[in-house]
Amino acid sequence: MTAPSVLLAVDIGGTFTDLVALDTDTGRIAVEKLLTSYPDPSLAVLDGVRSLLERAGLSADGMRYVVHGTTLITNTLIERKGAVTALLATAGFRDAIEIGNEGRYDMYDLALRKPAPLAERRLRFDVPERMLADGRVHQPLDKDHLRQVCAQLRAEPVEAVAICFLHAYTNPAHESAAQAIVSESLPGVAISASHQVAPGMREYPRASTTIANAYVQPIIDRYLERVEAGLKASGIAAPLNIMLSSGGTTTVAASRDFPIRLVESGPAGGALAGLHWGRLLGQSDVLAFDMGGTTAKAALTRAGELAISHQSEVAHVHRFKRGSGLPLMVPMIEMIEIGAGGGSIAHLNALGLPAVGPESAGSAPGPAAYGAGGTRPTVTDADLLLGYLNPDYFAGGDIALDRDAAQAAFTELSAALDLPLERTAWGVHQLVNENMAAAARVHAAERGLEIRRYCMVATGGAGPAHACGVAGGLGIGRIIIPPLAGVASAFGFLTAPIAFDFTRSYVSRLDELNLGELNGILADLERDGRRIVEAAGVAAGDIKVSLNIDMRYVGQGYEVRVPFPMDRLTERHIADMRQVFETEYRAFYGQLADGVPIEAVNWRILISGPQPQVASAVFDEAQSANDEPVACRPARFAAELAPLAIPVYRREQLSASWTAAGPCIIEEAASTTVVRPGWSAQVAAGSCLLLTRVGGGKNMEWAKT
Amino acid sequence: MIDPITLEVIWSRLISVVDEQAAALIHSSFTTVVREAGDLSAGVFDRAGNMIAQSVTGTPGHINTMANCVRNYVAPNYPIDSLDPGDTLITNDPWEASGHLFDLTIVSPVFYRRRGVAWFASTCHAVDIGGATMGGDARSLYEEGLAIPLMKLFRGGEVNQQLIDIIRANVRVPDQVIGDIYAQEVGNQVGARKLIEMLEEYNLPDIEAVSGQILDRSEAALRSAIRGLPDGVYGNTISIDGFDEPLTIACEIAVRGDMLSVDYAGSSSQVARGINVVLNYTHAYTTYTLMAALAPGIPNNEGAFRPIEVRAPRGSILNCTRPAPVSARHLIGHFVSQPLLTALSEVLPEQVIANGSAGLWNTMMDGLDENGREFAYVFFSAGGMGAGHNRDGLSATAFPSGIMGVPVEAIETAAPLLMRRRELRVDSGGAGRFRGGLGQVMELEIITGAPANHSCMYDRTGNPAQGLLGGKSGAAGDVRLSDGSQPHPKSHYVLRPGQRVLLKLPGGGGYGEPFQRDPQRVLEDVKQGYITLAAAKRDYGVVIDADTMSIDAAATATLREEPKK
């Protein structure tokens, strides 16, 4: 028997459960999509696995490993369906998560609401103990008091306990001792300690993260147990790995300890897929852009890798208002999400100017053109009126689009603006593009990245129709439309290396670093990481260890992250650290703060296995190749211009040598690619479509809106 | 004439440009007061100095004063055509800018095709500006620190080293102050670069046409909101602590057609302590409060200021004259929001909220650290907000200020202080059908082994936040040392090692009759520890059995029917 060669990815989304199997020997890929099962999502997973194996003629013992990602964590937090969770806090600080940052996320909203803490106040307890900012013990842990609290908790239906003590990120001794006492006093209760879950300064986000971890732990625990058992029952003995929001995968055991690191793993898969296709076509600066029915998401690479952030929010009170969610400090692929999708509704704002979103018609009733009761003008309606969408081949013909309904929906808006209908539709299309471009631009600016240099990888139902417009607004000249757009996240999981990262806050000026102590800490982190990664099936010799250091000038509050070779650190490394910091800082801010000492704050170690090789992926042979247009239809590409009759191609029929100049349209079941005038299109490696701006100059037609 | 779609595309783009400006400023800042507290503003202005767009981060006291400063002071004195590329201006004049010397306003013209086309400006709170430290003690402006008249900070890209040297010699923590000045300049330059990219992309010579239309539309939208109010005069008067004796803030809002004017006649006269407010600052919080209540969707810009007229008698606490001391002007200035909202409750009962803690509590500590180096540290804390017609007030939340609190761990990392506790203050929310937000309790000590100077800037210790439409007052604030003594809430004293200071921040006022509060909500408040059992009975007429934690329905009904004392 040959060695197992099949990798299987499973992505549970809110609506669909997607599965992708890749045979690494043959490069063949098989895909399955089914509705997510509620209340037990593991049922659909197991159904899907059975059906996929059967259809693709794969055997259960040919499986090398299974990668699993899920929105279960995010949904549990949004729907507030987690475990009853208690908080143990340094005496006097149990309200830190309710006091929050004392700010209002919308200055003009007098009726503003804040997210309620996941641990209600009556379950938040004071524990006498105190560390100082430098890690010295100011007041020892009162163990007797803690035991009394535990006794009190036994009378409550508490399923999870979060421990968050002040300055535990510099000295975790009290949290560790408390952890031991709680687990002894409350057997069977899930325990999360802040120095393990989110070891960084700022008690509010750290406590929020720790509580969220505890809150989802019992739920994810039960769920993973069912999936594991189910796979075994299906005859799959291969290890189950779990997708992390940071873009790596890890063992079931490690994800049970830190389930909050699984939050948003689906979008992480989408970003990984973008990176994969970009690399396949030789691009290292990649903007992964996904536009669906309600939202658009974007992720940017930095120095060829997806940027990781440790500050994010989840379960927003106002979905698109920064500051209205629960703060999280976990490694996560940095992503922006805005309320712009095919279902986004166009309306007039307070100034009487047109605006698009964030309100969305969603999938029910959906855009007016769906004919399912929607009457307000949406982005999809605009795209239909502009001639971009084929009313008879939307979602592969599953949804018939009604042009008259779209027209009716736009009548009122165009009358209010005193503009012709098509001009209004063009404006809505342009506005939603500018909204997405603006979000990407600010995001890039906050990180000092030059977005014009990037290559966009566009996915999602609406992404390929808007890619040229958004790219134009960003000055981007290359776009990849990858295959498998319908299951992009699951496919991305297959490209994820097995990896786990640890962070330790160890604040010290570079010229005062205690190298002995630091080397000890880093060695401990490396050892813990190796253990997890080896348990997930990576051979010791294949493990790669990398180090990132967050540094800043003494007195600053935001750090600059620099990669640094992982090695036993010696005096000579310190000058190198200073140099890489200054290089990065100058790139970011343009000038150095001369004479101010530099300090290192966080030390992040990433332990990873090799990147799975999926570059050879092949798809079902194209049916009869046909490089000729299948139709011709009128479409508009600027406000005043009359509609052009433009050729329409069918994607799955195109041969590997197909090329065409824009404007043209390429249809497939999952989406429609719109190639604007001034762009050209071709089939490229890996069955991708590659769109290139001709001449590479400014996109003047964009400028005229 | 630009069509509405193009206008909206460019306008959205301008907002993203000022957000990029603010992001660059915040990320390169050297102080927690800017980074964590968000004590800043950033905006873009047309050639004449009219503010068009502001960044989403910021606080009203800075945004709206910055708008007046650039239009009325910077642009007239240094017309954009008289400047050169690489020039940047700076000032901290309290009357022309944001009301006290601590706030540095830094303004840079943008040049495109060799012509000045716009301005970027930001205002940030400097950690120190010399003089007596922040607080209300000073008897005149001259004691409050270094004044910087409008002058060039950069000349053709060269920094004005003499000015930098003067600032350096006057402030306690020069690296932080100078570092933030550079951060403001970085923000302005990032904004300028992005604006030029935008002009190139859209082939525009400048932003005059866009500015004109956005301002006109903002003005028209606000006028239409004002027209929705019945004509009339609506007034309210409140008492606040003042420095040595209580002060009165009286307001009268007159609505006539699409014009609205606010007159603060009847308010107290200016005092010989640093709590006086310049008209610019009064104007800022007045327009902000009115916008939030009347028209929260309309962008805050020059156009939206036009239909609102703000008057206060010269020499009054809300329109003080030089050289009145003004250092802690926000202690009074934040309070103009309170009578304004109460006055509007007559016509907009569902759009306003009860009075709240209002004035931020500013704690400033300075002294020598363990190594004998000077330290100076300031942080802001919020009490409770007032309740609304269908919701409880927010606890420990800043209003009307847009400034945020700082994590204890950040405070203790930056300064030799130890916070013994920081928690919600039980029973501090004013009773009502909807309860006022809770204040918070903080206990602080110094850990250097040496005494430190504690400057207090605290209000509502004598005059609590009033409830609305039958709601009760929130709890008043309190400042007390561990030996039982009470320092002056707006002065400074020496905090000795081993001594602790206990700060109890005020709660927000309630909305509607407390006896109309749903007993289940009262029970829930007791369970969560937001109110005590005794308060449930006394303030809400809800009797709860302490053992079963359930409502005694009969006893509650009887109590609630009794005529109230």
Share of chain A above pLDDT 70, in %: 95
Share of chain B above pLDDT 70, in %: 98
Question: Half-sphere exposure of residue A474, counting CA atoms within 13 Å on the CB side?
Answer: 34
Chain A residue nearest residue B384, CA to CA: A102
Mean pLDDT value across chain B = 93
Question: What's domain A6-77+222-262's superfamily in CATH?
Answer: ATPase, nucleotide binding domain (3.30.420.40)
Contact B405 A556 (CB under 8 A): no
> Residues B47, B206: contact at Cβ < 8 Å?
yes
Mean pLDDT value across chain A = 89
Q: Total domain count for chain B?
A: 2
Chain A residue numbers with beta carbons less than 8 Å from the beta carbon of B35 are 556-558
Residue of B27, B293, B295 with shortest CB distance to A350: B295
Take residue A347 and report the two structure tokens written for it: 């309306």
β-strands A296-302, A305-306 pairing: antiparallel
Share of chain A above pLDDT 90, in %: 51
Which pLDDT does position B109 carry in this prediction? 98
Which pLDDT does position A562 carry in this prediction? 86
Contact B408 A427 (CB under 8 A): no
Chain B residue numbers with beta carbons less than 8 Å from the beta carbon of A116 are none
Contact A102 B381 (CB under 8 A): yes
pLDDT-derived band of residue B37, with 50, 70 and 90 as boundaries? low
Helix spans in A240-292 (H): 252-257, 265-280
Q: A281 φ, ψ to 5°?
A: -95, 20
Q: Which of B219, B249, B274 is the last residue of a domain?
A: B219
Residue A15 in this model has a pLDDT that exceeds 90? no
Least confident of A218-227, A375-384, B32-41, B453-462: B32-41
Residue B375 in this model has a pLDDT that exceeds 60? yes
Average pLDDT for residues B85-110, to the nearest whole number? 96
Contact A111 B388 (CB under 8 A): yes
Model pTM? 0.90
Residue B30 in this model has a pLDDT that exceeds 90? no
**Cis ω on the peptide bond leading into residue A377 (within 30° of 0)?**
no
Question: Structural domain of residue B201, as residue ranges?
Answer: 4-219
Structural domain contains residue B424: yes
* Residues contacting residue A15 through CB under 8 Å, at least 6 positions apart: A35, A36, A363
Residue A82 in this model has a pLDDT that exceeds 60? yes
Chain A residue numbers with beta carbons less than 8 Å from the beta carbon of B23 are 442, 445-446
Average pLDDT for residues B321-327, to the nearest whole number? 95
Least confident of A117-121, A423-427, A534-538: A534-538
Contact A423 B424 (CB under 8 A): no
Average pLDDT for residues B462-482, to the nearest whole number? 97
DSSP state of B269: B
Give the gap in angstroms from C-alpha A598 to the nearest C-alpha of chain B. 13
Chain B residue numbers with beta carbons less than 8 Å from the beta carbon of A555 are 30-31, 175-176, 179
pLDDT-derived band of residue B46, with 50, 70 and 90 as boundaries? very high
Give the gap in angstroms from C-alpha A649 to the nearest C-alpha of chain B. 31
Residue A596 in this model has a pLDDT that exceeds 80? no
- Which tens digit of pLDDT belongs to each residue from A2-14? 677 889 999 988 7
- Which tens digit of pLDDT belongs to each residue from B420-456? 999 999 999 999 999 999 999 999 999 999 999 999 9
pLDDT-derived band of residue A623, with 50, 70 and 90 as boundaries? low
DSSP state of A192: E
Contact B8 A355 (CB under 8 A): yes
Residue of B23, B220, B408 with shortest CB distance to A446: B23
Which pLDDT does position B33 carry in this prediction? 65
Which pLDDT does position A705 carry in this prediction? 35
Chain B residue numbers with beta carbons less than 8 Å from the beta carbon of A442 are 16, 19-20, 23
The total number of residues written for chain B in this structure = 565
Residue of B6, B288, B405 with shortest CB distance to A102: B405
Q: Name which residue leads in pLDDT, B106 or A4.
A: B106
Residue A279 in this model has a pLDDT that exceeds 60? yes
Q: Which of B197, B219, B241 is the last residue of a domain?
A: B219
Helix spans in B441-552 (H): 519-528, 533-540
* Residues contacting residue B338 through CB under 8 Å, at least 6 positions apart: B238, B249, B355, B356, B358, B465, B466
- Cβ-Cβ pairs closer than 8 A, A with B, add up to 227
- Which tens digit of pLDDT belongs to each residue from B327-368? 989 889 999 999 999 999 999 999 999 999 998 899 989 999
pLDDT-derived band of residue B3, with 50, 70 and 90 as boundaries? confident
Contact A92 B295 (CB under 8 A): no
Task: Please tell me the distance from the alpha carbon of residue B81 to that of residue B84, in angstroms, as a whole number.
Answer: 8
> Residues A676, A468: contact at Cβ < 8 Å?
yes
Task: Please tell me the distance from the alpha carbon of residue A246 to that of residue A306, in angstroms, as a whole number.
Answer: 9
Q: Are residues B38 and B187 in the same domain?
A: yes
Residue A702 in this model has a pLDDT that exceeds 70? no
Contact B395 A98 (CB under 8 A): yes
Chain A residue numbers with beta carbons less than 8 Å from the beta carbon of B186 are 589-591
Contact A589 B353 (CB under 8 A): no
- Which tens digit of pLDDT belongs to each residue from B223-252? 999 999 999 999 999 999 998 899 999 999
What ipTM does the predicted assembly reach? 0.91
Structural domain contains residue B263: no
H/E stretch holding B215: helix B208-227
Take residue A513 and report the two structure tokens written for it: 């670093």
- Per-position b or e across A107-135, b if 16+ CB within 10 A of its CB: bbebebebbebbbbbebbbbbebbbbbeb
Take residue A294 and report the two structure tokens written for it: 């309600």
What CATH number is given for A499-608 in this structure? 3.30.1490
Q: Which of A87, A90, A99 is the mutation pick for testing B, counting most B CBs within 10 A? A: A99
Give the gap in angstroms from C-alpha B77 to the nearest C-alpha of chain A. 30
Which pLDDT does position A250 carry in this prediction? 87
Q: Which string of DSSP letters, residue by residue, matches B317-356? A: TTB--TT---TTTHHHHGGGHHHHHHHHTTT-TTT-----
- Which tens digit of pLDDT belongs to each residue from B113-169? 999 999 999 999 998 899 986 677 889 999 999 999 999 999 999 999 999 999 999
Closest to A249 (Cα-Cα) out of A570, A656, A610, A591: A610
Which pLDDT does position A117 carry in this prediction? 96
Cα distances from A148 to residues A166, A178, A210, B505, B547, in angstroms, run 21, 12, 22, 31, 20
Tokens 């493990």, residue located: A543
Chain A residue numbers with beta carbons less than 8 Å from the beta carbon of B15 are 438
Which pLDDT does position A698 carry in this prediction? 44
Chain A residue numbers with beta carbons less than 8 Å from the beta carbon of B299 are 350-351
Q: Which of B182, B197, B219 is the last residue of a domain?
A: B219
- Which tens digit of pLDDT belongs to each residue from A632-641? 999 998 877 7
Which pLDDT does position A42 carry in this prediction? 85
Of A331-335, B83-87, B400-404, the range with the highest mean pLDDT is B83-87
Closest to B299 (Cα-Cα) out of B217, B208, B229: B217
Contact A438 B13 (CB under 8 A): yes
Q: A608 φ, ψ to 5°?
A: -140, 155
Closest to B393 (Cα-Cα) out of B447, B363, B445, B356: B356
Contact A596 B179 (CB under 8 A): yes
